[in-house]
A and B are shown apart, each in its own frame.
Chain A
Amino acid sequence: MRFELTPRTHVSPVMRALAPVAAFITAFLIAGFVIWLMGRSPVAAFDVYVLQPLSDPWALQELLVKATPLALIAIGLSYCFRANLWNIGAEGQYVIGAVLGGWLALKTHGTEAGAWVLPLMLLLGVIGGALYGLIPAFLKTRFGVNEILTSLMLVYVAQLILDYLVRGPWRDPKGFNFPQSVTFDPSATLHPILEGGRVHYGAVFAAIAVLVTAVVLGRTLFGYRLKLTGDAPRAARFAGFSSKATTMAVFAISGGLAGLAGISEVSGQIGQLQPSISPGYGFTAITVAFLGRLNPVGILLAALVVALTFIGGESAQILLKLPLDLTQAFQGILLMCVLAADAMVSYRIRFATRGGGK
């Protein structure tokens, strides 16, 4: 018996929209099976992972907090992935954004600096992430170096830079030798949208990014150019679109948004710099981008859904003693299911027996 693939001539939009849902359900069933193999109850796990966060107001806020960086980064990545470019170093761009923006917060710490600090910090975050993202883009366009490997290697470098800074020159002298910076001043803090709430203004940035991207991709020449570059590179060249300029642009956009996510998280959520400022948002955002079918609104929904697994993972660790690595494993399974579902939408898969027994 063997597989046979034939491209589908007509793909219904309903199927395209349902594919990620089917993928998500499949991923849940597989994860449930894994939990069962570990000798735990899949039903209890489902309750802790999904139902409890959704029925608890505090957890719902937490959901938005976690979805914010995911959506911001994934929106940026969707520009790259649409042009068939593989920026897998968003985690590093996120860190550098936080570092450059955080630098201003530490510089102005304890001074009378006014309301200009926070906007400038956010801007520095965007610039830091964009510049860091431009490194692999420049190496690719100028020298033809594979962007997948360079962008990934730069993640390790960025994490080491942050580690050096918070253990060395930026360590809080009164912090009992803990590797962390001073706590940011109120003027360097991204405030909650609602007084006393947890959701900070980063969520607004994410919403703006979704709206702007929806317009850019659907209504502008640049959006068309991305699609053409990804789907038919030769045609894009004949149309006079420079693939080098496109590469630089999408890496700058995705790096900038990852940097914004980084500085928003640090100034709105963590409140200081420390060696670890992300539970892997930059990598998880890849799953989010594909789960959302590289579509802005889809990505927003996907970010909320995947944020659920982060929160569920944290409470499952406390309540069920299920390790946090399970969440990462689930995200890997989810990405696999999404890619398989995408393929099933594009191709008809047949099991065929051929020539007796072979």
Chain B
Amino acid sequence: MTIVEAILLTIVTASTPLLIAALGELVTERSGVLNLGVEGMMAMGAACSFAAAVTFDSTLIGVAAGMLAGTLMAALFALLVLGFAANQTGSGLALTILGLGLSGLIGAPFVGARRDPIAPLDIPILSDIPVVGRLFFEQDLFVYASIVLTVLVGLYLMRTRSGLTLRSIGENHTSANALGLPVWRVRFWAILFGGACAGLAGAYLALVYTRFWSPGMTAGRGWIALALVVFAAWRPGWVLVGAYIFGAATVLQLHAQAAQFGVPSQLLSAVPYLATILALLLLSIRHGRAIGAPGSLGVPFVPDR
């Protein structure tokens, strides 16, 4: 394997958690709910999946535990913003603070443990194509799943009746409610879906990307996923593009650090965060304002208002 191939492979690995988490958040936001707790749900997904995978020595159980943890965190958020019509921005922040704290409690006994790499799923014949073969057809299962998920989310939102319902609730919950659409129920499931995806992204981070657990290992990826949704103007296809651009930025700065160009490593570490700001800025300059944002995004829903 050449160095270029190796770098391209790691870019895919770095992009996948961003893609999965951002897709989940995209569905939540399309239903009109802003969940700023992605970072916290992801951290819980990472800690719970790693703890379960080590305890039961099973990656499958680990992934299930990670998704369950993300879903439960999301359910807590749903209780606050749907049940109590609480402020969504504040509730999301609270979820992140709680998730980072709790994940520290859960992960602490597992510091130092390691998991074996997951065998890549080799698609015969296709993976023998030079350069692109290994890149596209010899990845782990999650990478394929994330691509399939992108397509499914796109099809669901744009081609199904249920997706249309979800989008109209996100655009204008008052009108949707007047039409008899179940605002509360649709949003509940959309929030849970977002949580499951964030949990899965966290599980991928701990079980595939690093294969160990350390405190604060999500390192702002949940926030980058949130930015990706804005960057993609709430369209799944563009989330895929954005996730891979960010994955590339992350991996290339790591390689630049290893190559020791004489640039401070901290400057390179700051690249993903600065790139996020730059991406949001360029997008806003081109369009004047954030385009494609659902009309009711972030507004609490109270039927009588």
Contact = CB atoms under 8 A, between A and B. Distances in A.
Interface of A: 2-7, 38, 86, 88, 139, 143-146, 148-150, 152-154, 156-157, 160-161, 163-164, 167-168, 283, 286-287, 290, 323-333, 335-336, 339-340, 342-344, 346-347, 349
A333 B79 CA distance: 13
Interface in B71-101: 76, 80, 82-87, 89-91, 93-101
B234 to A, nearest CB: 13
Contacts of B303: 4-5
B226 A335 contact: no
A64 B210 CA distance: 41
B97 A335 contact: yes
B249 to A, nearest CB: 13
B101 A149 contact: no
A144 B274 CA distance: 17
A8 to B, nearest CB: 11
B52 interface: no
A153 B231 CA distance: 15
B32 to A, nearest CB: 16
B269 interface: yes
Given A156-B273, A327-B101, A329-B101, A168 B284 contact: no
A333 B98 contact: yes
B304 interface: yes
A332 B95 contact: yes
B118 interface: no
Contacts of A329: 97-98, 101-102, 104-105
Given A329-B98, A335-B90, A336-B91, A145 B280 contact: yes
A283 B266 CA distance: 22
Contacts of B101: 325-332
Contact of B84 (A6, A160, A339): A339
B270 A5 contact: no
Contact of A153 (B36, B89, B220, B285): B220
Contacts of A143: 281, 284-285
A339 B302 contact: no
A154 B83 CA distance: 33
B3 interface: no
B277 interface: yes
A6 B85 CA distance: 10
Given A88-B93, A139-B277, 18 more contacts: A5-B85, A5-B303, A7-B302, A86-B89, A146-B230, A150-B280, A153-B220, A153-B227, A168-B264, A283-B93, A287-B97, A323-B105, A323-B108, A328-B101, A335-B90, A336-B94, A339-B86, A347-B84
A149 B288 CA distance: 17
15 contacts: A38-B105, A144-B288, A146-B230, A149-B226, A150-B277, A153-B277, A160-B267, A164-B266, A325-B100, A325-B102, A325-B104, A326-B101, A336-B80, A336-B95, A340-B86
B75 to A, nearest CB: 13
B161 interface: no
Nearest to B37: A332
A144 B90 CA distance: 21
B85 A343 contact: yes
Contacts of B266: 160-161, 163-164, 167
Contacts of B223: 149, 152-153
Contacts, number: 159
Interface residues of chain B: helix, strand, loop or mixed (majority):
helix
B281 A139 contact: yes
B277 A154 contact: yes
Which residue of B82, B215, B227 has the most chain A CB atoms within 10 A of its CB atom? B227
A349 B105 contact: no
A88 B96 CA distance: 12
A328 B104 contact: yes
B304 A7 contact: yes
Contacts of A157: 270, 273-274
Given A336-B98, A347-B85, A156 B270 contact: yes
Given A7-B302, A323-B104, A349 B226 contact: no
Contacts of B304: 5-7
Contacts of B76: 336
Given A5-B303, A144-B289, A330-B101, A343 B36 contact: no
B15 to A, nearest CB: 18
B281 A328 contact: no
Contacts of B284: 139, 143-145
Contact of B227 (A3, A149, A160): A149
Interface string B257-273: 00000001011011001
Contacts of A324: 104
B136 interface: no
A328 B97 CA distance: 6
B226 A160 contact: no
Given A88-B93, A164-B264, A336-B76, A2 B184 contact: yes
Nearest to B95: A332
